[in-house]
Amino acid sequence: MTTTIGIAGNQIIQSVDVFHGNHVSYTPQNFVTAIQKAGGLPIVLPISDEQAAAAYISKIDKLLLAGGQDISPDFFGEEPHPKLEETNRNRDLFELALINEAIKQNKPIFSVCRGMQLINVALGGTLYQDLSLYPDWTVKHGQQPTQPQFATHGIKIEKDSALYQVFGESYRVNSYHHQAINTLAPSLKITARSSDGIVEAVESIDPNQRLIGVQWHPELRFDVDTKEFNLFDYFVNQL
């Protein structure tokens, strides 16, 4: 039976000049393509009221959280730092509800970049609102203008992790983030770090809570690196 993957969607407002401010619900195409290639059935879950989360989660087998805006810092007990970038509170609220319901209904979660950070917040952790607040920052974690198909920095992966089975002990990743995990949620374990100590991957301490989060963007490299595709294949067919 085909595994149904719910991808939490984002929203963009199109040009006022051309489309009169039309609102569009979307997810990056590469998530859709990677899931389809792995044999899954992707469905985009549009930003909705929190109360709709339970019904959405009940209709899918697994949940994917994509990248995007910064997370509203009041969700982890902070006021906005001057370097905070765009937030979308409606998206935060809906995705937090999706996470809670996925855990409640025992549905596996794969989260990317912002998605990993939001998992940490949902489970009681905090974030650095900007990497300039991290005292040991020495690695470039926003690789622009380098194209996303090129890996730019290394990570070290813990042997006691699902991620190790896919990538081995060390790997090189692309990087597009200015925020990072600060205090780790109590129910999570760190499974990969960059050389300057930034959290690059997390998993649940509880083996029955099937959850993987990565800080990089495998959807932008799965077609040029087999290991990145293997991560999607693991999510769709094993996690």
Return the closest-CA partner of residue 115 out of 217, 32, 30.
217
The yes-or-no answer on residue 219 being catalytic is yes
Question: Which stretch of DSSP H or E encloses residue 11?
Answer: strand 10-13
217 annotated active-site: yes
Say which amino acid occupies 62.
Answer: K
Of 101, 113, 153, 203, the catalytic one is 113
Scored b (16 or more CB within 10 A) or e, 175-204 reads bbbebbbbebbebbeebbbbeeebbbbbbb
Query: Which residue in the list 200, 203, 219, 228 is annotated as catalytic?
Result: 219
Query: Is residue 62 within 8 Å of 235, Cβ to Cβ?
Result: yes
Known catalytic residues? 113, 217, 219
